[in-house]
Amino acid sequence: MATENHSFELAKGINGLGKIVLRESRSRSAEVYLYGGHVTSWKNENGEELLYLSSKAIFKPPKPIRGGIPLCFPQFSNLGTLESHGFARNRIWEVDASPPPLPTNSSSNAFVDLILRPTEDDLKTWPHNFEFRMRVNLGSEGELTLTSRIRNTNSDGKPFTFTFAYHTYFSVSDISEVRVEGLETLDYLDNLKSRERFTEQGDAITFESEIDKIYLSTPTKIAILDHEKKRTFVVRKDGLADAVVWNPWDKKSKTISDLGDEDYKHMLCVEAAAVERPITLKPGEEWKGRLELSAVPSSYSSGQLDPKKVLQ
Ligand code: TA6
């Protein structure tokens, strides 16, 4: 499907679910399911998959898809009365034929605009009218950008408050060889210790056991260094103060039916989020939350992997 300024393919995915395919130069591509507004694939110029998607993922409502980039809205985790991570990730989204203009610095025309509005059932559990618009853009350098705009369209004058996360599952070669840079010395809430608050140690974060932490007021740039793959993922975020780092490790993995028992070795969630300070919108107000992911080939010898450089 092509319009005057952008193009995407509408295709049938697993179980016949509608999906959008974005293609950029060389073999770069991305796929977004209308079910959940869920990015399930992001491939680089060599056609390599950069996101983890569980081989046991269930593509059938109401089960959220395990892997890719689930959207957590209007509630992160169990921080409220709704189902875990809210309902946006298990609703059917639509292609937004007439989105309001979105100023962007991307030269690529491989993008799609999606929109979600509450169903009658949603209004029973979360009595607020909203428009959740999301643009997924595959950039000319292969970067993947998700820009969310959430507007309060209540006609009863009521404000609403929400928490949010892009629950990104990165594909990594071996979790024990991965380091995360940019979260050193920050305070975090430990989900494994009833969200008690701690301060992170000074060095890069490495992984040797289950982790489930909400880092507070992080820098806008975080780097995930996959030494074995000589690859660095750079996460840039705007309007999303926090970052969640999650890996279930072996024991928890066995309790998650749609996650392979050994898969924890090849995935890491680093989630751009707004959790500590929930967002409140009055009617007519709009919030914007932007996530830009890029994967840069890197090698220690070139110093290119120097996190200080990567995070500049
Ligand atoms: O973002 C981390 C987290 O909240 C973990 O506590 C874990 O529950 C994970 O999300 C997966 O949640 P899900 O509802 O997708 O199984």
CA 98 / ligand 1 centre spacing (Å): 33
**CA dihedral in degrees (115, 120, 125, 128; nearest 10)?**
60
Q: Determine which one of 24, 31, 271, 292 is catalytic.
A: 271
CB 30 within 8 A of CB 139: no
Could you read off the pLDDT tens digit of each residue along the chain, which spans 312 residues? 555 556 799 999 999 999 999 999 878 999 999 999 999 999 999 999 999 999 999 999 999 999 999 999 999 999 999 999 999 999 999 999 999 999 877 778 899 999 999 999 999 999 999 999 999 999 999 999 999 999 999 999 999 999 999 999 999 999 999 999 999 999 999 999 999 999 998 889 999 999 999 999 999 999 999 999 999 999 999 999 999 999 999 999 999 999 999 999 999 999 999 999 999 999 999 999 999 999 998 854 444 444 455 455
Question: Shortest CA distance to 212 belongs to which of 80, 78, 57, 36?
Answer: 78
CA 2 / ligand 1 centre spacing (Å): 36
In this prediction, residue 239 carries a pLDDT of: 98
| Chain-centroid distance, C-alpha 101 | 23
Catalytic residue list contains 128? no
Mutate to test the pocket of ligand 1, among 246, 249, 269 (most ligand atoms within 8 A of CB): 246
Q: DSSP letter at 258?
A: T
Residues linked to residue 289 through DSSP beta bridges, in sequence order? 148
Catalytic residue list contains 167? yes
Question: Shortest CA distance to 127 belongs to which of 156, 148, 151, 150?
Answer: 156
The SS3 call for residue 106 is: coil
CB 269 within 8 A of CB 167: yes
Please state, in angstroms and rounded to a whole number, the distance separating the CA atoms of residues 301 and 312. Answer: 19
Closest residue by CA, ligand 1 atom 10: 77
Residues linked to residue 292 through DSSP beta bridges, in sequence order? 145, 236
